[in-house]
Amino acid sequence: MDCSVCHYPNSGDACFCVRCAAPLGLPPERLPRQPEPLSSEEAAREAARSIQSGMVLSDRYQLVRQIGSGGFGTVFEAADLELGLRVAVKLLRSSSLRDPRVRARFLDEARMIAQLRNPHIVVLLDYDVTETGTPYLVMELLEGKDVGTLLGQGVLSPRRALRIAAQVCEALGEAHRHGIVHRDMKPENVVLLNRAGETDFVKVVDFGVAKLCRGPGVRTSAVLGTPAYVSPEMLAGEPLDGRSDLYAVGIMLWEMIVGQLPFPGTNQAVMLSSHLYAPRKWPRAIDPTVRMADPIEELLTQLVARAAADRPASAYELRARLLELAPLAPDRPFNVPPPTGGPPWDPPAG
């Protein structure tokens, strides 16, 4: 298996690169094709059991502390007792065990991450099921700060924001090359690490609602993701491809630089409608104190275009443009309030 960091060819059973020690990830062929069946008795027994710190899964992963929680899973920091490493363990919520579609989606997330070999994508190290039927993913532990947390302290300099977005596009380019659309790109799913001499080394996480979209004309069956970043084509039930993720990257850039959404709404209904119908303006038209080189403002406006065809054609093309424009961008943040992320959002139960 080739290392995604230094590209050294390692043996198929290696867990870490022998040259640079980077985690190699779990080969897709080691994952099951379908989730294991779960009886109603097993589901009831597992639902009654509380997953908590101190528990040991599969005689190997000892849960240390809970570090995150989402709609379908809970994430723990854990100790790998076999290798002596710290890892992240994501367990499917017990309340979702009875739903075979959610169990299948959880396995799909593992299969998608296992396919992707890029240093800017979180690495899947293992997949297993507890004795009572709860599936879980074991991933590299990311000790950094997500962009959402960073934005709580204020906006970033345009130059820094463009460089962060360029790394996000490198990760998305790898996913799109495999026909995978992330569908939930947002600041909280972009983690910044201190790695390889860089203080803003990007890792893209959470492929829980990603979708395999191969070929033209593939439509999504449901609107998933976070409303502030959902693309117009997803809302309209139109064909979906990687340019839907680029729309979300554009929204993130507006937040990181301008401090607000390109078309803010006072409530969820207005905000969702604005993705479809609001006029697209340059940042300086939204806030006159925000002025950048014309090509940068033009790109930020192009990224949130209503039609996917009016955005950059690919994540790789966008990455090249971001790196080209970064030296032209101011290296100090604008004096604008920290972004709010739009109206509060209560996700649907389950």
Cβ contacts of 27-30, under 8 Å, gap ≥ 24: 27/1, 27/114, 28/111, 28/114, 28/115, 30/114, 30/127
Name the token pair of 34: 């379908």
Using left for φ > 0, alpha for ψ between -120 and 50, and beta otherwise, residue 259 falls in left
- Which residue type is seen at 126? D
Of the residues 184, 206, 241, 245, only one is catalytic, namely: 184
Q: Is 331 a catalytic residue?
A: no
C-alpha distances in Å from residue 199, one per residue of 135, 170, 193, 196, 243: 34, 17, 6, 8, 28
Alpha carbons 349 and 325: distance in angstroms, whole number: 42
Name the token pair of 274: 């604005």
Please name which of 178, 165, 64 lies closest in space to residue 118, comparing C-alpha atoms.
Answer: 178
3-state DSSP assignment of residue 310: helix
Q: Which residues contact 7 (CB under 8 A, 6 or more apart)?
A: none
Which residues are catalytically annotated? 184
